[in-house]
Amino acid sequence: MKIAVFLAPGFEDIEAVTPVDVLRRAGFTVVTAAVGAQGLHVASAHDVTIVADARAEDLNPADFAMAVFPGGLPGATNLAASQTATAFAAAVHARGGWAAAICAAPLALQAAGLLAGHAYTCYPTMERKIGGNYTGRRVERDRRVITACGPGASLDFALELVRALGKPEVAEQLANSMLKA
């Protein structure tokens, strides 16, 4: 099963790297995808440059079970403005896959038309820009949409992605081995 994690300039470091790490530990194939960057190098909100595995426009949504959007600013607004990223998430979701976003990145899920009728959470105050059924929970899973509130919820978010992809026992094992409280 393949998962795409989209990296737009200004992404939040921990919200991108934690899901990639946890999903790979769980045995999934994770492809990091550069959005709106020159080549594969994408700079985070904290000036950490990550070399993505592929350019977003080179990925085929039919090959993926999940699209993950890290937050951070301006990363989340860059994702929301990317027709490539939002169309990819919408296509994965339409085929029965998952769409996931953390912190400010539910903005991109909204831009993709994926939050209508779904409960979601995000970084506090971002719900004013998104509207809809904001819950304020740390991690929210509503049908095939998963959202989380911010950097501190990155591990909880990543473990929920593993559960959603059908490996709840692996998520529990990872939580224990990573000494999650």
For residues 91 and 71, the answer to whether their CB atoms sit within 8 Å is: no
Number of H helices, E strands in the chain: 7, 11
CATH 3.40.50.880 fits 2-177, yes or no: yes
Domain spans of the chain?
Answer: 2-177
Return the closest-CA partner of residue 118 out of 104, 106, 105: 106
DSSP-based three-state secondary structure for 70: coil
For residues 134 and 127, the answer to whether their CB atoms sit within 8 Å is: yes
DSSP-based three-state secondary structure for 91: helix
Would you call 174 exposed, middle or buried from its count of C-beta atoms within 10 A (0-12, 13-18, 19+)? buried
One digit per residue, the tens of pLDDT, for the chain of length 181 reads 999 999 999 999 999 999 999 999 999 999 999 998 679 999 999 999 999 999 999 999 999 999 999 999 999 999 999 999 999 999 999 999 999 999 999 999 999 999 999 999 999 999 999 999 999 999 999 999 999 999 999 999 999 999 999 999 999 999 999 998 6
pLDDT at residue 181, rounded to an integer: 66
